[in-house]
Amino acid sequence: MTYLRHAFFVDTLELRLLPDGGPIQQKAKEILAGAEVFQEVVSSAGNRWQALGLVYQAPEQELALRAMDEPSKQAGTHLESVRVFQEALDTFGRELEEIDYETRALDEAADAAYGVWLERLDELNAQDASTYEMEAAREELNAPLQTRLAEITQRYEQARQACVRSLGAIARSSPDVISSYPSFVMDLAATERDDAIAALDKALAPDASPEDIKAFYNLLLLAGPDLMKELGKRPGAAQFVAGMSPHEEMKFWGKLSPEQQGALLVALPGLVGSLEGAPYKTRDTANRQLLGILQQELIEDLWNSGRVGTDYEALAVRQGALESLALALSKKDRYLISLDPRTDAPLAQVAVGNPDTARNVTYVVPGMYSSSVDAAGLANQADDLRKRQSLEGIYGNDTAVIAYMGYESPTLGQVTSEDLAEKGAPAFADSLDGLYLTRSAAGTVVEVNVIAHSYGTTMTAIALGQTDYGVASAVLLASAGLPEGVAVADFNVGLGSDGERKVFVTTAEADSLAPWGSDMSWRTDPADEADPWGGRVFSSDEVTVNNISYEAVEDHHLHLYLEGGTFSMKITALVTSGGSEEAVELIKAAQ
């Protein structure tokens, strides 16, 4: 059995990106030297000014001769403030150097621990250990590393706060300067507001870079509920869905206070709705809010549809998708866990069962011509699969099935190209990793499975080579072909007791479209037993096993492969609910 490829993910990236302490100390020293020179010059000028008393005689002589007293006093106060400034930055710089040393030591310890884990993993594989036993062994090695990471991070935060407190105690040495600020307090709130609005506008731009996106998220960490509410009123803000990596998003959500989380949910539902690390129930609340916004926007677009340039086809597609999503969510125990409105048919994921609590979660990835226009039907198919899993597997009702409509699927004319598969794979890999990270952050373990159909197998094959965390099993139905060079060993999928990856493949004899897709694209047909690809091939035709007869799949459609009386449904439900060993025996009996 394989497990996490990055079993010891000790995320020291932010610590390694901290500035060097040495240059900070040096610059503070230079500023102090400048302040000392400035104070000396002002004092010297004051002394020379006093000498005017020898040549200047007038009734106001005393008043004139004391004109330099206040500047000299302020120069002295300024010097004392700069000394506080220099001492604060010098201390902070020393702490940064110590933190850098400890971070490097932690990285070395993580590398060493990973070597120990690989040896331990071989032992666990030989013992046919369960997923939970592997998780316990991994956690035993990983926990001390995470504790050290938390201690270093806390040390930095304490050093930063101490520096901020010291700097904040510095008084203005010249309160009489003409200023737009009330009293002696600068209008920091206005600056924060302007910076946040500017960052949001950059993040909303079509050409926004990953750095622009990350900068906006970083500013949100400093924003209070009132500022978040104000940001939510900006045009397009509610529909902002651009994100970062799953690890970065998980850390971002964890750093927010409960008040910030609640305010962000209301102000920027698009952001929260697809945020890895946020509880799926919270994401569902955000996405239902976003769905309502999109529905209202559609009403306005339809009302104005008589205007020149109206794209009636796009409006019809969007209307069908929003209506289908609303219908899919009308039944209980449904969760809208992602919603991306940037395409005519918004990209989406609908879960049947709660992904926050289910011990077993299965993603179902449809193929050609699929989109959120089919949300209601795909959610019903997910529901049927979940019910069958509860009968066949080891988890009972403690499962969830996710209808994944999170990539742009091809038309018949596009199916021979891998462009859309390559475009969609990173987001799917992020969703798989995000589920692991979200549940890990909540302190629970989940087994994840993937079922892909048609062109969905093409995209999934790429995605399962990009994930950080492994899935338990993968079932490929009616594959339109896997990219050349992708082997079953590239799938980040667990091993069965026989040492083979739990990747199962089938295509029905009556399905002529799937082989056409692989033949016309020159991709690998994983179900071709004459030229074995490496996955475990099983029948989706009429078979009798253990005196039970199963119907044949009569066409290419996903719902036919997942019909109750078919062998493909039997094997798929078993494999994805902890029954892969039983599935292997049934496949052998059917041959």
- CB-based contacts of 65, cutoff 8 Å, min separation 6: 49, 50, 52, 53, 56
Angle at 486 between CA 485 and CA 489, to 5 degrees: 125
Angle at 53 between CA 52 and CA 55, to 5 degrees: 70
Domains 13-168 and 332-590 alike in fold: no
- 3-state helix, strand, coil split of the chain in percent (to 5) is 55, 10, 35
- Amino acid, res. 410: P
Angle at 519 between CA 453 and CA 408, to 5 degrees: 40
What CATH number belongs to 13-168?
Answer: 1.20.1260
Q: What residue segments make up the domains of the chain, in order of their start?
A: 13-168, 196-278, 332-590
User: Residue 243: its pLDDT value, please?
Assistant: 95
Residue pair 482/514 in contact (Cβ under 8 Å)? The answer is no
DSSP codes of every residue in 144-157: HHHHHHHHHHHHHH
Two structure tokens written together for 358: 């289910």
- CB-based contacts of 571, cutoff 8 Å, min separation 6: 475, 504, 506, 538, 583, 586, 587
Cα 208 to Cα 195, 216, 234, 236: the distances in Å are: 16, 11, 17, 14
Instruction: State which H helix or E strand residue 448 sits in.
Output: strand 447-453
C-alpha span between 299 and 305 (Å, rounded): 10
DSSP codes of every residue in 281-312: HHHHHHHHHHHHHHHHHHHHHHHTTTSTT--H
**pLDDT tens per residue across all 591 residues of the chain:** 333 334 455 777 678 778 888 888 898 888 888 878 877 777 776 666 555 555 555 555 555 556 666 777 777 777 888 888 888 889 999 999 999 999 889 888 888 887 887 788 778 878 877 766 777 887 888 889 888 988 998 899 899 888 888 887 776 544 444 333 343 344 445 677 888 899 999 999 999 999 999 999 999 988 889 999 999 999 999 999 999 999 999 999 999 999 999 999 999 999 999 999 999 999 999 999 999 999 999 998 888 877 767 788 999 999 999 999 999 999 999 999 999 999 999 999 999 999 999 999 999 999 999 999 999 999 999 999 999 999 999 999 999 999 999 999 999 999 999 999 999 999 999 999 999 999 988 888 899 999 999 999 999 999 999 999 999 999 999 999 999 999 999 999 999 988 899 999 999 999 999 999 999 999 999 999 888 999 999 999 999 999 999 999 999 999 999 999 999 999 999 999 999 999 999 999 998
Two structure tokens written together for 507: 């295509």
Instruction: State which H helix or E strand residue 550 sits in.
Output: strand 548-550
The highest-level CATH class for domain 332-590 is alpha beta
> In the 8-state DSSP scheme, what is residue 373?
G
Query: Shortest CA distance to 470 belongs to which of 119, 121, 111?
Result: 121
Query: Shortest CA distance to 542 belongs to which of 565, 526, 564?
Result: 565
Task: Quickly tell me which residue has 């002295």 as its tokens.
Answer: 76
- Amino acid, res. 260: Q
Query: Shortest CA distance to 464 belongs to which of 535, 531, 411?
Result: 535
CB atoms within 10 A of CB 189: 11
Q: What are phi and psi of 282, to 5 degrees?
A: -65, -40
User: Residue 182: its pLDDT value, please?
Assistant: 41
